Amino acid sequence: SSSSSSSAPTSHPWYHSSMAPLLAPSRLGVSTCRRPITPTATFAASREAASRVVILGGTGRVGASTAVNLLNLRPNVELVLAGRSRENYARALDENPTLANAMFLQTDADDKASVKSAIDGADLLVHCAGPFQRLEHCHPLDACIEKGVPYVDVADDTEYTMRCRGRADAAKEANVPAVTSAGIFPGASNVMAADMLDERRAAAEESGEDMPTPERLLFSYFTAGSGGVGTTILASTFLLATEDVTCFKDGEPVTVDPVSNRRVVDFGKGVGSREVFLYNLPEVATCHETLGIPSVSARFGTSPGIWNGAMLLLSKLPRPVSRSRAFAGAMAALSDPIVRLVDKIEGEKVAMRVEIEWSDGAVTCSLFNHPSLRTAVGAATAAFADAALAGDTPAGVWVPEQTEAVPLRKDLLEKCAAPIGAIMILGKSPWRLGSDSVQLGMGLYVDR
């Protein structure tokens, strides 16, 4: 698909002048066709050999789930769980007995020297040590570039993602492949969008007709409570709730308030209709450019509905206080006991719905849901890690929707949908995805 002709969003908080070249479609790698990618020679030889994978933040819930799922995909992988606390390592092993052979390395993600030491001899670093909001560095990626180690992260912050993209030339010079924002959302959701474009392009080629233009891309996400992920997602959500939202309309960037523009979205059987609100997420900016779609936005919601109301109130607090990582961390720790209790009642469900509106009036949708965010994000991140270990990603810094990041999109999505209980439906008309839900009020819906 062709790229958008819109100008760079120079007035927005995550943008600075050094990023202008990064937002050019030629730099972000707009793919005009599905094509084979030449494997990175340095790492292609490791396809069959046992690989050493360091998971930064591996003692946390997301990191540990990633380790479990990667072990399912590659039973011979040598896993290193890098984190700050041996106590958290012990808890991770207690909760995930299959990680009994995983090594622990005490590592500080904010200290480049500490990360460089941890990845010595590694075949891949998977960075799961969030939250990524308000970070002023990319030490883990910088360490990988300096040490020649492939890199994957689960960043869900626009500024952080763009900062990583700023290392593209350095990564190419060091022959290091890197993929940023490669979790479940962003991550698998980006690939779902790109897959719908692939399918529509293939249908047009087969019929000999012109491919319609994608005009609008809508990302909608839902988690019940914390999704079982704990304080990390709480802190990230608190920080995002105080960050102005940049979305795109008709090729132009538009700034709106966070936790605004409520929409009710049907996430299908098992989840039903849920309210979602605009948040500032990196897939909006990257998919606008890489997929050439002029209008893009992303919404998120949780349950019970009172939590959405709490996020709205938080968004109204004075920014110097509420935008602080320390404040968000304290709020997450304070809320954690209540959220754990709510999780027991609400469960850990996660759902994504990705919609594309086309110039011919058609709408195609893809949907994913799973009973546990913790399991689902681990499966998605492990799928990206497995793709990186395959050696097919060329040197550079890529985002998930680019062909360079994931040459085999369907294969990755199949791995994301592998956990028991997962539902994934790709590229269908909206009416084929719906549930039959009833609104109870206060943001609560139930399936009939």
Q: Residue 430 is encoded by which pair of tokens?
A: 């909206």
For the chain, give the longest Cα–Cα distance: 61
Residue type, 189: S
Read off the pLDDT of residues 408-439 as tens digits, 9 standing for 90 and up: 999 999 999 999 999 999 999 887 776 554 44
Read off the pLDDT of residues 48-71 as tens digits, 9 standing for 90 and up: 568 999 999 999 999 999 999 999
Read off the pLDDT of residues 120-167 as tens digits, 9 standing for 90 and up: 999 999 999 989 999 999 999 999 999 999 999 999 999 999 999 999
Least confidently predicted of 140-154, 200-214, 254-268, 342-356: 342-356
Q: What's the distance, Cα to Cα, between the start and end of the chain in Å? A: 40
Q: Among all chains, which residue has been given the structure tokens 């292609």? A: 44
| C-beta separation of 181 from 402 below 8 A | no
| C-beta separation of 56 from 126 below 8 A | yes
- Alpha-carbon span 109 to 140, nearest angstrom: 7
Torsion, Cα 149 18 188 327, to 10 degrees, reads 90
Torsion, Cα 100 105 106 107, to 10 degrees, reads -120
- Alpha-carbon span 77 to 253, nearest angstrom: 43
- pLDDT value for 12: 46
- The answer to whether residue 399 scores a pLDDT higher than 90 is yes
Mean pLDDT of 362-373: 95
Least confidently predicted of 27-36, 101-110, 238-247, 386-395: 27-36
Per the DSSP assignment, residues forming a β-bridge with 74 are: none
- Alpha-carbon span 240 to 315, nearest angstrom: 9
- pLDDT value for 434: 64
Least confidently predicted of 4-13, 86-95, 168-177, 254-263: 4-13
- pLDDT value for 254: 98
* Torsion sign, CA atoms 193, 195, 198, 200: negative
Q: Which residues contact 285 (CB under 8 A, 6 or more apart)?
A: 9, 14, 23, 158, 161, 162, 246, 248
Q: Residue 42 is encoded by which pair of tokens?
A: 């340095």
Binning pLDDT at 50, 70 and 90, where does residue 42 land?
A: very low
Task: Return the axis-axis angle of helices 61-73 and 86-95, rounded to nearest 10°.
Answer: 50
| C-beta separation of 252 from 430 below 8 A | no
- pLDDT value for 27: 37
SS (H, E, C) the chain: CCCCCCCCCCCCCCCCHHHHHHHCHHHHCCCCCCCCCCCCHHHHCCCCCCCEEEEECCCCHHHHHHHHHHHHHCCCCEEEEEECCHHHHHHHHHHCHHHCCCEEEECCCCCHHHHHHHCCCCCEEEECCCCCCCCCCCHHHHHHHHHCCCEEECCCCHHHHHHHHCCHHHHHHCCCEEECCCECCCEHHHHHHHHHHHHHHHHHHHHCCCCCCEEEEEEEEEEECCCCCCHHHHHHHHHHCCCCEEEEECCEEEEECCCEEEEEEECCCCCCEEEEEECCCHHHHHHHHHCCCCEEEEEEEEECHHHHHHHHHHHCCCHHHHCCHHHHHHHHHHHHHHHHHHHHHHCECEEEEEEEEECCCCEEEEEEEECEHHHHHHHHHHHHHHHHHCCCCCCEEECCCCCCCCCCHHHHHHHHCCCCCCEEEEEECHHHCCCCEEEEECCEEEEC
- Alpha-carbon span 289 to 249, nearest angstrom: 13
Half-sphere exposure of 277 (CA within 13 A, CB side): 22
- The answer to whether residue 5 scores a pLDDT higher than 90 is no
pTM, entire model: 0.85
Least confidently predicted of 65-79, 102-116, 327-341: 327-341
Mean pLDDT of the chain: 86
